[in-house]
């Protein structure tokens, strides 16, 4: 699959945030930005451990005459019920903007709250691609992990309690008006979280670059994202106070987020979803566990693309594309090992007997499976899980 045919010229629509601010302590600019936009009442969706860090900023906002409502109800990957409960709790509050400060789960919830305040559509009405009709509230996203890319993507993922499946809500209206990338907010992330979220970001870039619908415009972001993450992930995991590594990792994660709307992910993410819904594994870890095995499965279909991936990861070119691509797969395994996280499903506590059910669930994620460069059927999915076990 090289982009010499229709793929290179297919229509593509890019929706970027209206403003992106990147820099150490950039969070301090939030007060002035909100005041300049004329907001008088904001909802801040965040997590309990960040409250002390955010308190000076909340005081600044209140001194500027901006009322603040804090919500810390998201403690895991959000469900439809979680977001509906949040919306109900805000029923008597007039808010003109929503600020999400946290990891991907917090940002996804904040994006949906901003979209659903004053919206007559239900969450189930907007589930799918392009069904949300608009957003009336301002939306600012500030990530505290370098991983999900949710801060710049048009996607939000919720768990549906009815069938325990993760479901996507995709809309250009979920792209924030403003994004603040402050690497200082990631400095205290534990090594395991840094590793898992960083490998999630790497997967976004890698799956976009090797995607059946890859596009030259997105290739730029995907390739540079892979390069930055591969060069800086281990340094950030080893020493969380390494400002340069944290900054480069945060930028790489954002570049991965740019890939999620126009191209999106593929087989790794589709197969990772059951690990989250059935075993409650963190999303980033789920992707990391499967990434090298899906790469091995896909590589024969698109060796030139995987050779390019290897070069982005810092590998030298071999005698053939296949040889180079295999070096890239080995490099991903090396990164996982150096990060010190689980590399097999068995190490993560997955029950081998659940593999057939996991594969059945993964087959339902057709919106991502259709992007995979090599078709994955039920038996293929079982084989991949078993190889990863």
- Note the pLDDT of residue 387: 97
Q: CB-based contacts of 350: which residues, under 8 Å, 6+ apart?
A: 275, 279, 281, 389
- Note the pLDDT of residue 247: 95
Low-confidence stretches of the chain (pLDDT < 50) are 1, 3-5
Query: How many CB atoms neighbour CB 210 within 10 A?
Result: 29
- Note the pLDDT of residue 3: 46
- Note the pLDDT of residue 8: 61
Torsion of CA 197, 123, 214, 383, to 10 degrees: 70
Q: How far from 271 is each of 46, 177, 238, 277, 286, CA to CA, in Å?
A: 29, 32, 29, 11, 9
The domain 188-388 is placed in CATH, from the list 1.20.1090.10, 3.20.19.10, 3.40.50.300, 1.10.10.60, at 1.20.1090.10
Summarised one tens digit per residue, pLDDT across range 269-296 is 999 999 988 898 988 999 999 999 999 9
Summarised one tens digit per residue, pLDDT across range 16-38 is 999 999 998 999 999 999 999 99
Q: Are 197 and 148 in contact (CB under 8 A)?
A: yes
Q: Which two tokens stand for residue 269?
A: 């993410």
Domain segments of the chain as ranges: 19-186, 188-388
Query: Using CA atoms, how far apart are residues 109 and 119, in angstroms rounded to an integer?
Result: 15
Three-state DSSP class for 98? strand
Q: What is the CATH architecture of 19-186?
A: 3-Layer(aba) Sandwich (3.40)
- Note the pLDDT of residue 67: 96
Summarised one tens digit per residue, pLDDT across range 214-266 is 999 999 999 999 999 999 999 999 999 999 999 999 999 999 999 998 899 99
Query: Using CA atoms, how far apart are residues 235 and 237, in angstroms rounded to an integer?
Result: 5
The β-bridge partners of 329 are none
Percent of the chain's residues with pLDDT above 70: 98
Average pLDDT, the chain: 94
Query: Using CA atoms, how far apart are residues 159 and 167, in angstroms rounded to an integer?
Result: 6
């Amino acid at each position: 699959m090289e982009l010499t045919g229709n793929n290179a010229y297919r229509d593509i629509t890019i929706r970027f945030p209206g403003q992106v601010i990147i820099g150490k302590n950039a969070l301090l600019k939030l007060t002035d930005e909100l005041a300049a936009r004329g907001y008088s009442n904001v909802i801040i969706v965040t997590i309990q451990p960040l409250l002390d860090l955010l308190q000076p900023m909340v005081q600044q906002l209140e001194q500027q005459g901006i009322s603040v409502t804090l919500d810390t109800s998201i403690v895991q990957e959000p469900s439809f019920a979680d977001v509906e409960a949040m919306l109900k709790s805000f029923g008597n509050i007039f808010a003109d903007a929503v600020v999400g400060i946290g990891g991907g789960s917090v940002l996804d919830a904040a994006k949906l709250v901003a979209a659903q305040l004053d919206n007559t559509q239900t969450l189930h009405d907007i589930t799918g691609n392009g069904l949300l009709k608009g957003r009336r509230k301002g939306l600012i996203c500030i990530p505290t992990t370098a991983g999900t890319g949710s801060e710049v993507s048009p996607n939000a993922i919720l768990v549906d309690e009815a069938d325990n499946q993760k479901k996507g809500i995709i809309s250009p209206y979920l792209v924030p008006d403003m994004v603040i990338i402050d690497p200082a907010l990631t400095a205290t992330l534990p090594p395991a979280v840094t590793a898992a979220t960083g490998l999630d970001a790497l997967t976004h870039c890698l799956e976009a670059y090797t995607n059946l619908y890859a596009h030259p415009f997105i290739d730029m972001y995907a390739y540079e994202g892979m390069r930055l993450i591969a060069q800086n992930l281990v340094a950030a995991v080893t020493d969380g106070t390494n400002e340069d590594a944290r900054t480069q990792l945060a930028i790489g994660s954002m570049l991965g987020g740019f890939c999620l709307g126009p191209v999106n992910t593929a087989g790794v993410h589709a197969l990772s979803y059951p690990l989250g819904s059935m075993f409650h594994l963190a999303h980033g870890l789920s992707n990391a566990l499967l990434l090298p095995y899906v790469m091995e499965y896909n590589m024969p279909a698109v060796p030139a693309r995987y050779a390019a991936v290897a070069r982005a990861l810092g590998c030298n070119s071999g005698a053939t594309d296949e040889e180079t691509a295999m070096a890239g797969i080995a490099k991903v395994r090396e990164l996982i090992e150096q990060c010190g996280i689980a590399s097999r499903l068995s190490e993560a506590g997955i029950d081998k007997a659940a593999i057939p059910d996991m594969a059945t669930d993964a087959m339902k994620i057709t919106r991502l499976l259709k992007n995979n460069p090599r078709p994955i059927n039920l038996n293929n999915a079982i084989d991949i899980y078993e190889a990863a076990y």
